[in-house]
Amino acid sequence: MKILLCNVSKKYDTIFHDYVGLFYLAGALEREGFEPLVYHGKPEDLLEEIKINEPKAVGFSCDFDNRDLISNLTKKIKEKWQIPIIVGGPQSIGLNRDFLEDSRVDYVLRGEGETSLPRLLKAILSGMGDLKDIKGLAYLKDGIYIETGPPEIIDNLDDLPLPAYHCSLHKNHAYGKLIFTGRGCPYQCAYCAPSPGKQKVRLRSIPLVLDEIKLNLKNNPDLKYIIIMDDTFTVNRQRIEEFCKGMQEIRKERDLVWYCECHVGRIKNWMDVLPAMIDAGLIRLQIGIESGDQKVLDQYHKHVNIEDIIEFVSYAADCGLAQIATNFIVGGPEEDAGATAGLIKTLMDQAPGVIDIITGFLRAYPGTEILKNPGKFSLKLHDENGRLSSDDYPFVTPMGRSQDQVMKERQELNKVIRQSMQKKIKNHELKEGVVMKQFKAALAYGIRSRWFEEIAAHPRAYEYYYVIYLNEGQSFDKNLDFSGDFPQRTFELWRTMTFAEGFPQLDGAAISPLEYELLLRCAGKRSLKNIENELYAKFGSSYQSQVEFHGKLIDILYQFNFKFWVTHFMV
């Protein structure tokens, strides 16, 4: 029997994502004798896929921005086909009678579905088993709303089949980028959606994880980057070291890098493992900071101190980690925005070019303390049906503050972040090796940080660093003798030089005759020594000696280098 598993979104094109959770479900269904099909394309194409494949049931993964979209689609499906519709996923804990009645969905299945979904399908399609014995189920029977109790938690994750990527309806899509090494999280952050089983940490054996990675590499020859999706990959040092040892062996055959998340409050006890992680291919590490106000972090139950965050970020940057990703939540309970802005500036100074910061609004997700009791946090919910927000959840503000004020606060924080980045790029405050890691991450592995994006938005800086990345030039050090090197412009002169005012200008700055003649000759075709001799014959009368002229030329070239106009190379 064909079973269609779907993930659809109104916010982004799902064809570019892997949806490994659906493929774990597909593997479980296949093992039980079903024929699963996985769809993650455009919502408007889904009905045609149902018409073509004629599934016996359809399942949707409901996350935090597609509840209403699913509800609209399921009503259309019911108009055309009388087939069972099941909704699961992280948002399923917030779906109740109203959703079932409005969407015409038959069943909401909460929790980890690899065990419960096959049982449900056997019960409704083959009459095998009783619905009341399926844990985590919600449905309507004769107008009565029924819930069967807490979802079943899968204790031994090693018993699960590997993701069945061959069940995808998108035959040109290459999978394997996402992987789970465990499930659950020992922390209970107030803002985090508490999906069933989340508080119970269960870990897969590392040999099995490595086997899955090897299989993904075999099936996807272009795979260069994997994302470990665990909330707490770094809960156990011995396990980290075992994984890194396996990754080092894999990397002998393939240039593969990886990403994971970590909790600073836990990894601070064994930060010295970080160099081994980097050596094993760790290129990007996600840490949750959320606020620069310690009182707010304590209210969130983050179990971390700001001093530990600063120490960890500094240490990770010093170890050579390419990217440290983090998020700050805007609109928290009685938050000191100045403290958050101050922490952002501190982290930018401690890890310039490495710390990759984004911001987001506080959201009241189902099951969270914030939704259950916003007053406890001095918060107020707005638009509780989520009709005015881009996702399906209410906007949250501190008491006494409007949505406009919170939005402005986020804009101000983003301004702090961007201005700090732009200043450090413009003033050459980023170490060249750090920038090269951002270029390699973006151009070799497709991992584009905000630093790379900001450099790319600065044409001179991008061309300058790109030349260095390609090893076709290097930056100037005015203390070294490079008379035999060949200076070269990083741009095409005719595209950028203007003469509208009657004299040469570049990037809004007037160019002196000596600077202009020097730029003309910085074409990478002659050595600086030859250029100097030629220019000295033309401009030397204004200087007491060629030594003095040489010093002036070096100063000019250094300024050109500082403005990202010129690099040089050896022949």
pLDDT of res. 529:
94
Helices 528-539, 546-562: crossing angle, 10 deg rounding: 120
Cross-strand partners of 107 = 86, 139
Question: Which tokens belong to 36?
Answer: 């699963």
Nearest to 212 by CA among 239, 173, 182, 233: 182
In the structure, what pLDDT confidence band is assigned to residue 1 with cuts at 50, 70 and 90?
A: very high
In the structure, what pLDDT confidence band is assigned to residue 87 with cuts at 50, 70 and 90?
A: very high
**What value does the mean pLDDT of the chain take?**
92
Span 241-253, mean pLDDT?
97
pLDDT of res. 265:
87
Burial 111-143 (b: 16+ CB within 10 A, else e): bbbbbbbbbbbbbbeeeeeeeeebbbbbbeeee
Question: Which tokens belong to 225?
Answer: 């980057």
Residue pair 549/540 in contact (Cβ under 8 Å)? The answer is yes
The CB density around residue 16, as the number of other CB atoms within 10 Å, is 8
Q: What is the tens place of the pLDDT at every residue in 21-49?
A: 999 999 999 999 999 999 998 899 999 99
Q: What share of the chain in percent tops pLDDT 70? A: 97
CA-CA-CA-CA torsion sign (236, 240, 241, 242): positive
pTM of the predicted model as reported, rounded to 2 decimal places: 0.91
Q: Which domains does the chain have, with CATH numbers?
A: 2-147 (3.40.50.280), 176-426 (3.80.30.20), 486-569 (no CATH)
Q: What is the tens place of the pLDDT at every residue in 197-225?
A: 677 899 999 999 999 999 999 999 999 99
pLDDT of res. 269:
86
pLDDT of res. 388:
64
165 to 50, 399, 541: CA distances (angstroms): 19, 47, 75
Q: What is the tens place of the pLDDT at every residue in 390-402?
A: 666 678 889 988 8
Which range has the worst mean pLDDT, 71-85, 286-300, 370-384?
Answer: 370-384
Give the CA count within 13 Å in the CB-facing half-sphere of 343: 24
Reply yes or no on whether the pLDDT at 107 is more than 90: yes
Helix (H) or strand (E) holding 369: helix 369-372
Q: In what order do the strands lie in the sheet with 257-262?
A: 178-179, 225-228, 257-262, 282-290, 323-330, 355-361
Reply yes or no on whether the pLDDT at 341 is more than 90: yes
Question: Which tokens belong to 550?
Answer: 């040489």
Whole-angstrom Cα distance, residue 49 to residue 39?
8
Q: What is the tens place of the pLDDT at every residue in 493-515?
A: 888 899 988 899 999 899 999 99
478 to 430, 548, 556, 562: CA distances (angstroms): 18, 15, 10, 11
Nearest to 455 by CA among 426, 489, 432: 426
pLDDT of res. 80:
95
Q: What share of the chain in percent tops pLDDT 90? A: 74
Span 96-117, mean pLDDT?
95
Backbone angles phi, psi at 234, to 5 degrees: -100, 30
